[in-house]
């Protein structure tokens, strides 16, 4: 396993749409190693999610710390392939986001608070997750990366943009 280099904002790979993975692709050692390396890389940089385009792979794949509402499904990091997101209610809430590709910046982003994610797991099995609040936010942020969308694009105002140090000093207790 290895720690992968993370593409930063401005790298064209972050603006490209990722290609779907076939079940056969998921059987390849290259893709399984990529998934393991992405999990290691997310952990190394204390991220809550990491999408394949962020490690220079134009594929519809992300890893993230997602907590399904179904208590039987709770686990550590999830591997999500070819995700489709359906909001369960039209409600959105503003919450703070950061991105390993946009280091040391935080901003308030509106996201759906209750979603269903349909996807494949790392073995190509269909999965369906019901995600709320922070987990729903992570899944929407990471799925956006697969479409070349960054969190700045989803902000309705840039007034909340802050560096991490100032976030910690002035905003960390505001919650989301
Ligand atoms: Ni990101």
- Tell me what pLDDT residue 70 has: 67
Name beta bridge partners: 64: 49, 78
**How many whole angstroms from 22 Cα to the centroid of ligand 1?**
24
The domain limits of the chain are 12-174
> Residues 142, 165, 166, 174: which is the catalytic one?
142
Class of domain 12-174: alpha beta
Distance from the alpha carbon of residue 24 to the mean position of ligand 1, in angstroms: 27
Using the mean position of ligand 1's atoms as its centre, give its distance from the Cα of residue 126 in Å.
Answer: 24
**Which string of b and e fits 26-36 if b means at least 16 CB within 10 Å?**
beeeebeebbe
Q: What is the DSSP letter of 174?
A: G
Contacts of 57 (CB under 8 A, 6+ apart): 18, 34
- The one-digit pLDDT tens for each residue of the chain (176 residues) are 799 999 999 999 999 999 999 999 999 999 999 999 999 999 999 999 999 999 999 999 999 999 877 666 556 899 999 999 999 999 999 999 999 999 999 999 999 999 999 999 999 999 999 999 999 999 999 999 999 999 999 999 999 999 999 999 999 887 55
**Backbone conformation region of residue 19, classed left if phi is above 0, alpha if psi is from -120 to 50, else beta:** beta
HEC per residue, 54-105: HHCCCECEEEEECCCCCHHHCCCEEEEEEEEEEECCCCEEEEEEEECCEEEE
Write down the pLDDT at residue 38: 98
Q: Is 165 a catalytic residue?
A: no
């Amino acid at each position: 396993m290895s720690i992968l280099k993370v593409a930063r904002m401005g790298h064209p790979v972050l603006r490209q749409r990722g290609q779907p993975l076939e079940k056969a692709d998921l059987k390849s050692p290259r893709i399984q190693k990529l998934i393991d390396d992405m999990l290691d890389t997310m952990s190394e940089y204390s991220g809550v999610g990491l999408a394949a385009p962020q490690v220079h792979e134009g594929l519809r794949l992300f890893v993230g710390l997602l907590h399904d509402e179904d208590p039987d499904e709770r686990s550590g990091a999830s591997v999500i392939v070819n995700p489709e997101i359906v909001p369960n209610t039209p409600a959105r809430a503003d919450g703070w986001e950061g991105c390993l590709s946009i280091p040391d910046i935080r901003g308030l982003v509106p996201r759906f608070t209750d979603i269903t994610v349909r996807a494949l797991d790392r073995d190509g099995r269909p999965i369906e997750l019901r995600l709320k609040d922070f987990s729903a936010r992570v899944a929407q942020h990471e799925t956006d990366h697969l479409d070349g969308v960054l969190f700045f694009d989803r902000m309705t105002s840039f007034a909340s943009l802050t560096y991490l140090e100032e976030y910690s000093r002035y905003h960390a207790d505001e919650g989301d």
